[in-house]
Structure 1
Amino acid sequence: MRPGHIWSRQEVLDWMLALDGDWLVGLDLSPSLAFADRGAYFPGWERSPADVRGLWALVEEIAGDEPHLGANRFVDHPEASRHFRRHGGRQGDCFPPGAGRFRVVEDESREQRLCNPYSNFNLVGAAQVGKSSLTGMRLFHRIDRKLPIWPYDPILERGPVVVEIYTSIAATAAGLPRGRTKIRDPETLDRALAALGSHAHAPLTRYDDHATDAMLAAAWLRAVAHDPDYWSPSKLTPALAGTEGWTFGVR
């Protein structure tokens, strides 16, 4: 669309809000935090929201004046910070021993050997997605009621829909071995695209896993979007759909 351009979060938000037609938009971040395991996002905090929209609103309220849809002020909040593992050995007293808390879909994706998720309360390490998930909650707060977000909203027959994805699910569906799903060369990318029924790609100026993840995920979404099994996971309950959500591709 704009080769070499580095997109800001606000530009991505503006692009999404301007969508017209049938689009399936996959975001590689979590719109929510673990809830079902403890019956709350932040046990012991009187402001802990009852549902995902309350969570988005809380993050927005605390971090709302931070530029670029950042969420550092939320992470550093005296009560919220008790639940996160942060850099510099700062681990909140409510962060449990071990890897942290997980959503039901994250446990399920591990059971199905689709991926190896990190807790969204863990903000340390190259593979963590907790930081992007918190900033993503500010984005979701802004698109709420403007774009359907699955599984929090009913899905219409036409128009754009936003879903949460793991790019590694797309990669393994394309035949890449688990644990080695990052593509950094054109030949491997074309083989993976062909496995998903897509044509060879137009050459890129640089082959990094950010660009190839996005291309492969888009090809996978196009290939599976019309399969009803992906939209009706067996363990997705109404309670989970209103609190933790679900990752598209975990059935």
Structure 2
Amino acid sequence: MTERFQHYAAIDWSGAVGERHKGIAVAICATGDAAPELVRPGHRWSRPEVLQWLTEDLPADTLVGMDLGISLAFADRSSFFPGWTDSPADARTLWALIDRTCADDPHLSVSSFVDHAEIARHFRRHGGREGDLFGGGRGRFRVAETAQQAMGCKPYSNFNLVGAAQVGKSSLSGMRLLHRLAGRLPVWPIHPLPERGSVLVEIYTTIAAMAAGRRPERSKIRTVEELNRALAALGSRRVAYEGAIDDHKSDALITAAWLRRDAHRAELWNPRGLTSEIARTEGWTFGAE
């Protein structure tokens, strides 16, 4: 695959309660080898501000990676919410359901969705509240998450909303954003990859860190010295910062550089486990092979 994009952006996302979040970081780089840069360094982003940046300020022909799950498990049970007659038929309908259910929830939060009487039965929530249809164990996984696991990663089920490493709330809040991007920014592979223009993909920052030579269990980087070693491994110049850096910013910077290096690889756009049905319902994680 020839070079398709002119810019590469990575967004470390957050589903935490509140308006502004230290867990959100946005980084971008252009073609070439210049070091990726943080967008609005020092700014504490809100989720709606990220949506605004994507729709109003995104440079042309940008590949955007967002660190979240773009859908829920479907293939294992042929349904997102088995036994519920109103369960959505595909990912885009799921996004619309989440956004509609949470219309009164501020800051793209999702409390109304996970508290819904039927939907809550499928989630593990705080306070020992495990829905009777959660399924036990680590919860249900998408096909892409099984592929992540085969690579040595440790994915978490998007139906699990408990624990510091859970990604369920960030994924659900991200789906509200994805719904609001409709018609403005395609989301691969739920939308086909267009011949030109910007595209958003799901990323898992551990995959980018592994590509930079980090072990999965040591993927988080908190010093600029370590960050620059990882960037060098990805063919990028060094950043000019010094000292400590939080792992949200370093995740975004490394992933932007990784997207720039590897986005041309045709096999990453055609992973073995990705079928048309999986694309329509569960989506995929870019870089999961």
Give yes or no for the alignment of 1:136 onto 2:185: no
Number of residue pairs matched by the alignment? 250
* 1:8 alignment partner, one of 32, 46, 50: 46
Q: Tell me, which stretches of 5 or more residues in structure 2 are unaligned?
A: 1-38
* 1:160 alignment partner, one of 195, 198, 203: 198
Residue 240 (structure 1) shift: 0.3
Residue 158 (structure 1) shift: 2.2
* 1:48 alignment partner, one of 87, 90, 110: 87
| 2:154 alignment partner AA | N
* 1:117 alignment partner, one of 147, 155, 170: 155
* 2:76 alignment partner, one of 28, 34, 37: 37
Q: Residue 241 of structure 2 aligns with which residue?
A: 203
C-alpha distance after superposition, 1:65-91 (max 9, x if no partner): 211011011011111110000000000
Contact 1:21 1:158 in 2 (8 A): no
Q: Residue 24 of structure 2 aligns with which residue?
A: none
* 2:263 alignment partner, one of 197, 212, 225: 225
After superposition, residues 15-94 of structure 1 pair within 5 angstroms as 15-18=53-56, 19-94=58-133
Residue 3 (structure 1) shift: 2.4
Residue 205 (structure 1) shift: 7.4
Contact 2:223 2:243 in 1 (8 A): no
**In 2: Cα distance, 1:16 partner to 1:223 partner:** 22
Contact 2:209 2:219 in 1 (8 A): yes
Query: What TM-score comes out, normalization by structure 1 length?
Result: 0.97
Of 163-172 and 176-185, the range deviating more from structure 2: 176-185
More helix as a share of residues:
1
Residue 156 (structure 1) shift: 2.0
**In 2: Cα distance, 1:232 partner to 1:116 partner:** 22
Contact 1:20 1:159 in 2 (8 A): no
For the residue of structure 2 that corresponds to 1:179, the secondary structure is helix
* Closer, same or farther: CA 85–204 of 1 in aligned 2, 3 Å: farther
Residue 132 (structure 1) shift: 0.4
Task: Percent identity, please.
Answer: 60
Query: What TM-score comes out, normalization by structure 2 length?
Result: 0.84
Q: Tell me, which stretches of 5 or more residues in structure 1 are unaligned?
A: none
Residue 206 (structure 1) shift: 4.7
Give yes or no for the alignment of 1:186 onto 2:224: yes
C-alpha distance after superposition, 1:209-238 (max 9, x if no partner): 111001001000010111111111111000
Q: Residue 107 of structure 1 aligns with which residue?
A: 146
| 1:100 alignment partner AA | G
**In 1: Cα distance, 2:214 partner to 2:84 partner:** 43
* 2:212 alignment partner, one of 174, 193, 205: 174
More strand as a share of residues:
2
